[in-house]
Amino acid sequence: MAVSPVNLQPVSTAQAVEKTDNITTSKVKSTAQAFFKKAIFWSVVAVGVIFSFSIIKAAFSNPITAIALCAIGIWGYKNRSKISSYLKMNIAAIKEKLGISSKENFYKINDKIILGPMPTHSGDYFKALKDAQVKTVLSIMHHDQSLYTTMLSKPILPHEFTKQDIDYLPIKIANPKQISIEEMHIIADMIHERAQEGKKVFVHGDLDSSADHMGILAYFIKYQNSSLQEALHQLKAVKKDAELSDECLGRLYKFSLAK
């Protein structure tokens, strides 16, 4: 019985070494990320325990100190979304400095809209924006969040976008996790206006924010006459991991009824 020959592709030593190096690098990054997450978690737990113990101890020794610590705790609770957003930005900057951050992609939603991460000085985002022929950056940020500022990086200022012939449009929202119906209308209108001018729009939000997704869905619903289900399908066809909470979907549904 004749046996057909099998064509084997030769693999050079250099290729084999490179493949091994890539696997090793991937394992190292994965281990570093897991360690980093655990370190952050236990650091937060430790700070919380120490702070709680300090309040209890101060309450018995010095009532004024206890009142001051309680006031700080109340302030922290009321500003928890701002603090959370700021911490996430700094954690992302630290991970980037350590070389353990995952690469974030640009998602071409359609010919008019590109969804992506917050621009930073590192990572050469201006080149990426230029390559994508972006003419407008729609920045949906928490109202108290400084523009891309972290402890390890200087902010990107609006005039730096202007130098690259890119319009910078900041939208300050009250809640980074969710936007109001009024804010959805504003974002949808801004995307539509720039799209009508033939400009590609780059949309981004805060880290772990759903505001950018909700803004794009609002545009589909208002200006492309899409149902909420159709808009979600169009978004997830490009960004498969796009997820929204039931509360966000409920607000989008109300938006679709009142458009």
- State the Cα–Cα distance between residues 102 and 242, nearest whole angstrom: 17
On whether residue 178 sits in a domain, the answer given is yes
Q: Is the pLDDT of residue 137 over 70?
A: yes
On whether residue 85 sits in a domain, the answer given is no
Q: Are 239 and 120 contained in the same domain? A: yes
- Residue that terminates a domain, selected from 57, 78, 99: 78
Q: Are 28 and 137 contained in the same domain? A: no
Q: Looking at per-residue confidence, does 82 or 53 come out higher?
A: 53
Greatest mean pLDDT among 29-38, 70-79, 155-164, 222-231 lies in: 222-231
- State the Cα–Cα distance between residues 257 and 77, nearest whole angstrom: 34
Q: Are 151 and 196 contained in the same domain? A: yes
Residue 53 is encoded by which pair of tokens?
A: 């113990």
Cβ contacts of 89-96, under 8 Å, gap ≥ 24: 89/118, 89/145, 89/148, 89/149, 89/150, 89/206, 89/207, 90/150, 90/151, 90/152, 91/40, 92/150, 92/207, 93/120, 93/150, 93/151, 93/152, 93/153, 94/152, 95/33, 95/36, 96/120, 96/122, 96/123
Q: Residue 167: which H helix or E strand, with range?
A: strand 167-173
Q: Are 145 and 216 contained in the same domain? A: yes
On whether residue 5 sits in a domain, the answer given is no
Q: For residue 4, what pLDDT is reported?
A: 43
Report yes or no: 152 and 93 within 8 Å, Cβ to Cβ. Answer: yes
Q: Are 167 and 205 contained in the same domain? A: yes
On whether residue 21 sits in a domain, the answer given is yes
Q: Could you give the number of structural domains in the chain?
A: 2
CATH number at residue 181: 3.90.190.10
On whether residue 96 sits in a domain, the answer given is no
pLDDT digits 0-9 by tens, 154-199: 557 778 888 888 998 888 887 766 788 999 999 999 999 999 998 9
Give the residue carrying structure tokens 């997830």. 236
- State the Cα–Cα distance between residues 206 and 180, nearest whole angstrom: 16
Q: Which domain holds residue 43?
A: 14-78
Give the residue carrying structure tokens 């006459």. 225
Q: For residue 252, what pLDDT is reported?
A: 93
